[in-house]
Structure 1
Amino acid sequence: MDQNANKTVLILGANSDVAKQCIKQYIEKGLSVIAASRNTRSLEDFISENNLDQTKIAVLSFDAADFNSHQKFYDQLPVKPHIVVYAAGFLVDNERALADFSGAKQMMEVNYMGAVSILSIIAMDQSNKHLERIVGLSSLSGVRGRKSNFVYGSTKAAFTQYLAGLRQELASRKIIVNALVIGYIRTKINDGLQLNESLIMEPDYVAGYIVNAGNSFTIVPNFKWKMIYHILRLLPEGLVAKLP
């Protein structure tokens, strides 16, 4: 019997371009998916347009920033997950975030606070004996503070640190926690940004790293981004200050 046949993946923020590709790839591997997002209509359209097996997918409403709803959302899941992917994300440019706190606040709520809220609920449910993995989508923007995007980057840095501690917390229960530290992706969140075309990854490529995540905590898709990641970590502060 296929070992994935009875496994369920909960994808939070399932309407992102990468998350949608994860849905396809998890279904192809034989897992069932609970796809949760504020925009359930878009998810249903995606499932229909791609002729995905609807008997293997449940679409639920989930708002990362509505913290008070998270416990009820989790309690009412049709089945408790084996794998959880937190893919919810929000981005405004740095100038707007500095000038208008509402944009910064929304990034904090979606990228970090919402993640801590729902993932802590999931992780602390010791009655779910088959939880085996939690994957969080972070960003290279959170590796070092840079003047072009440090408000957004700070939310991703905080999320990565939370995942690192959660990994230690759950190690005794043999639950793996992964942080996907991701560079530029061809997604709607990056529409309108001037990005280096040679560094842009496709959503299905990144999704493959999520669906096939191993035991390592930090996973950086693409060898170019791996080099950038290690360079960023080692650069002296004076050189980081000269980056855009």
Structure 2
Amino acid sequence: MNQNTGKTVLILGANSDVAKQCIRQYVQNGFSVIAASRNTKSLEDFTILNNLAAPQVTIMYFDAADFDSHPQFYAALPVKPHIVIYAAGYLVDNRKAMMDFKGARQMMEVNYMGGVSILNLVATDQSNSNLERIVGLSSLSGVRGRKSNFVYGSTKAAFTQYLAGLRQELASRSVVVNALVIGYIRTKINEGLELNESLMMEPEYVAGFIVNAGNSFTIVPNFKWKIIYHILRLLPESLAAKLP
């Protein structure tokens, strides 16, 4: 239902499957969306396919790992956002990340460093009286180090901790910061991986938790993943070491 909010959402890394569904749902709820990504062509195709034309959606080029470009990008925004979502993500196989640091570094730059770079600009812009919420997409992989994905998981763990501190920093301005801690999603980034089908979530389902985020810091979509999240947090090290 269109609520005619007149508010603007900035989605960084907007070409992900979840982010695209956020675009659609936010527009349906009456928001304007600034969709930012390196792949602007894919975003243009998506907006045309879903009849999400301007002025509902503005598409901008954004490279999460090009830190020097972030101040210019932020200054060029057509309007200061009410809500900012950091959805940029990158994943390589853990063995590859260990053998070739280029893959590990790219995960660090996109999953963590890029988020810190651009969100620091957002958070320290005292002139933006519009800002109400920042949502960062994290992962269950960052809850506990595991043999199969600890390099990727470390980038998500660092990002979650950054968001936790940012939430405290912005509390005095009544800006809510949420960390969406996500399990398996049927998306491009997970194609080819052998994942438990019963735990897979659809991008549209996950996007709903972002669009309808409340005041809690940690948001874990799906009750099965909530259970797994709490088990991972509380599992003794002797048992955690036996996880794949």
With the shorter chain as reference, the TM-score category is: over 0.9
Q: 1:175, 1:3 → 2: CA distance?
A: 21
- Classify the secondary structure of the residue corresponding to 1:118: helix
Matched residue, 2:180: 180
- 2:40 corresponds to 1:50: no
Q: 1:89, 1:147 → 2: CA distance?
A: 20
Matched residue, 2:101: 101
Supply the AA of the counterpart residue of 1:20: K
Matched residue, 1:136: 136
Equivalent positions of 1:24-43 (< 5 A) are 24-43=24-43
Q: For residues 94-118 of structure 1, what are the alpha-carbon distances to aligned partners after superposition, in whole Å with 9 as ceiling and x for unaligned?
A: 0000000000000000000000000
Q: 2:140, 2:224 → 1: CA distance?
A: 12
Matched residue, 1:110: 110
Give the Å deviation of 1:5.
2.7
Supply the AA of the counterpart residue of 2:116: V
Supply the AA of the counterpart residue of 1:150: F
- 2:241 corresponds to 1:238: no
Q: 1:164, 1:75 → 2: CA distance?
A: 26
Matched residue, 1:155: 155
Q: For residues 152-203 of structure 1, what are the alpha-carbon distances to aligned partners after superposition, in whole Å with 9 as ceiling and x for unaligned?
A: 0000000000000000000000000000000000000000000000000000
Q: For residues 71-130 of structure 1, what are the alpha-carbon distances to aligned partners after superposition, in whole Å with 9 as ceiling and x for unaligned?
A: 000001000100000000000010000000000000000000000000000010010001
Q: Bigger shift: 154-163 or 51-60? A: 51-60
Q: Structure 1 residues 3, 50: closer, same or farther in 2, change over 3 A?
A: closer
Supply the AA of the counterpart residue of 1:19: A
Q: Which runs of 5+ in 2 are unaligned?
A: none
Give the Å deviation of 1:3.
6.6
Q: 1:132, 1:50 → 2: CA distance?
A: 27
C-alpha RMSD of matched pairs (Å): 0.9
Whether the aligned pair in 2 keeps the contact of 1:12 and 1:87 (CA below 8 Å) is: yes
Give the Å deviation of 1:53.
3.5
Matched residue, 2:211: 211
- Classify the secondary structure of the residue corresponding to 1:60: strand
Whether the aligned pair in 1 keeps the contact of 2:94 and 2:151 (CA below 8 Å) is: yes
Supply the AA of the counterpart residue of 1:147: K
Q: Bigger shift: 102-111 or 4-13? A: 4-13
- 2:198 corresponds to 1:198: yes
Q: Which runs of 5+ in 1 are unaligned?
A: none
Whether the aligned pair in 1 keeps the contact of 2:3 and 2:29 (CA below 8 Å) is: no
How many residues matched? 243
Whether the aligned pair in 2 keeps the contact of 1:47 and 1:54 (CA below 8 Å) is: no
Q: 1:4, 1:149 → 2: CA distance?
A: 42
Q: 1:4, 1:28 → 2: CA distance?
A: 9
Residue identity over aligned pairs, in percent, reads 79
Give the Å deviation of 1:66.
0.1
Matched residue, 1:81: 81
- Classify the secondary structure of the residue corresponding to 2:127: coil
- Classify the secondary structure of the residue corresponding to 1:189: helix
